[in-house]
Amino acid sequence: MTGVAIAVRDLRKRFASVEAVCGVTFDVREGTTTALLGGNGAGKTTTLSMLLGVLLPTSGAITVLGCDMLRDRHRVLPRMNFTSPYVDLPKRLTVRENLRVFADLYGVERASMRIGALTAELDLADLLQRPYGELSAGQRTRVSLAKALLNRPEVLLLDEPTASLDPDIGDRMRSHLENYQRMSGCTMLLASHNMSEVERMCDDVIMLRAGVIVDHGSPARLIARYGRDTMEEVFLDIARGVDERSDTAAAATR
């Protein structure tokens, strides 16, 4: 499995009578950014939750950095991190207190220096003394990103990492993630509804619909395959179940 940071095999998750993820199989190559795309209810967040060990799969296998996540996730979780707008930090703690708590949980050495560096890089100085619960949605997104980078993760799971950010701040956050990846060799798995973000950042795209992978390829190859101009148009085709590919083009990708 040289060169593969995340390996998922026949992953399934059932909630009562609903199968949210239906036999998903994919690899994420080391040092790359892969997008996990699909409409609401496609299974993106459920898949990310299983990769983190927050949810146990009904069946299937997950390997991250060579470790079986179902048996040995304690060995690899310190080398991972995540951010999601659907997961709040403790609201009564200030931003500084939150970052310090999570730095301690991850065993970050020289935590004060690391928090100071991230504060400067992500422009958080004016927020450090404010309770997290008083922040706007965009400010929370920036703090959550700082939390996700505290332990210098080798694998980073990003669920809507620039949600609620204005275009300028969103662009800065994407640049910061790209720079971090270049310097660290980090592998990133990204769930996003921002298709320009996907085109800019991602090497590979996995398209989900109703818990099933319906297509996979680089942004450029998917755009060409569907005869579209942008990933947003491709996303709409796939989300709506429209197949614009010719039989010849489809066969060429197999």
User: What residue spans define the domains of the chain?
Assistant: 4-87+158-252
254 pLDDT higher than 50: no
pLDDT value of position 2: 53
Backbone angles phi, psi at 28, to 5 degrees: -120, 120
Percent of the chain having pLDDT more than 90? Answer: 83
Task: Answer positive or negative: Cα dihedral of 124, 126, 131, 133.
Answer: negative
CA-wise closest residue to 35 among 25, 44, 43:
44
Q: How far apart are CA 45 and CA 16, in angstroms?
A: 18
Query: Tokens 């997961």 belong to which residue?
Result: 87
Rounding to the nearest 10 degrees, give the CA dihedral for residues 131, 134, 136, 141.
30
Q: How far apart are CA 4 and CA 30, in angstroms?
A: 5
pLDDT value of position 39: 87
Element holding 20 (H helix, E strand): strand 18-29
Task: Answer positive or negative: Cα dihedral of 121, 122, 125, 126.
Answer: positive
Q: Which CATH architecture has domain 4-87+158-252?
A: 3-Layer(aba) Sandwich (3.40)
Contact 89, 144 (CB under 8 A): yes
Q: Taking all residues of the chain, what is their mean pLDDT, rounded to a whole number?
A: 92
Percent of the chain having pLDDT more than 70? Answer: 94
CA-wise closest residue to 80 among 100, 51, 119:
51
251 pLDDT higher than 50: no
* pLDDT tens per residue across span 32-90: 999 999 988 899 999 999 999 899 999 999 999 999 999 999 999 999 999 988 889 99
CA-wise closest residue to 174 among 38, 77, 33:
33
pLDDT value of position 143: 96
* pLDDT tens per residue across span 180-229: 999 999 999 999 989 999 999 999 999 999 999 999 999 999 999 999 99
Mean pLDDT, residues 2-21 taken together = 93
Query: Tokens 């990492």 belong to which residue?
Result: 161
Q: Got the DSSP string for 136-198?
A: -HHHHHHHHHHHHHTT--SEEEEESTTTT--HHHHHHHHHHHHHHHHHH--EEEEE-S-HHHH
* pLDDT tens per residue across span 126-163: 999 999 999 999 999 999 999 999 999 999 999 999 98
Q: Got the DSSP string for 94-105?
A: BHHHHHHHHHHH
pLDDT value of position 239: 83
The residue length of the chain stands at 254
Q: Cα angle vertex 23, ends 60, 223, to 5°?
A: 130
Across the chain, which distance is largest between two alpha carbons, in Å? 59
- Banded pLDDT at 252 (limits 50, 70, 90): very low
